[in-house]
Amino acid sequence: MNGAALQSCLGLVHAYARLRRKLDDELGTLHGLSLDDFVLLDALFRSDSAGLCAADLEGPLGVQRSAVVRQVIALEKTGLLQRMNDHGVRSIQLRSPGRRLLQEATETAEAVCAAALAANVQMGVRADDFHRALCGSLALELR
């Protein structure tokens, strides 16, 4: 058994948890979005104009299709996206208000990520130590 591999993976989980919590906090406070909502809107933005089906969003969101559909329904009610059925082809598309909100939220997410990574890059942190440095980043502290 390789304890170092397990500790490295657990370190990544801890770093991800801190980053996720910080992004959820900032995106929620400033834009009314969760990180999951942001990821969904971003995936739709990066798709072609025809949109994506729920199955295409399982991977980026890391959840099952039923969870994607629940999230889509909630965001559809807020007017950020729409579900389409064009000649039997179902798709989910970003609406104009969703594009505007995503643009604003992207600036916030970029700022959080840049602050979290800035000190690590300046210190020349090795990839092996990256998760430990990210876990200790003061930029990921909640206010």
- Residue 113 has a pLDDT of 87
1: in domain: no
Give pLDDT, residue 39.
95
In a domain, 47, yes or no: yes
pLDDT at site 45: 93
Query: Which of 125-133's residues contact partners 24+ apart within 8 Å by CB, and which partners?
Result: 128/8, 130/15, 131/8, 131/11, 131/12, 131/14, 131/15, 132/11, 132/15
In a domain, 4, yes or no: no
Domain holding 56, by residue range, is: 9-140
Would you state the pLDDT for residue 51?
83
Residue 61 belongs to some domain of the structure: yes
pLDDT score for 2: 65
Number of structural domains, the chain?
Answer: 1
Q: Is 33 inside a domain boundary? A: yes
Question: Which CATH number is 115's domain given?
Answer: 1.10.10.10
- Cα of first residue to Cα of last residue in the chain, in angstroms, is 40
Residue 81 within any structural domain of the chain: yes
Q: How far apart are CA 131 and CA 117, in angstroms?
A: 10
pTM to 2 decimal places: 0.82
pLDDT tens across the length of the chain (143 residues): 568 778 877 877 888 898 899 999 999 999 999 999 999 999 999 987 678 888 889 888 889 999 999 999 999 999 999 998 877 778 899 999 999 999 999 999 999 988 887 766 666 665 556 666 666 667 767 76
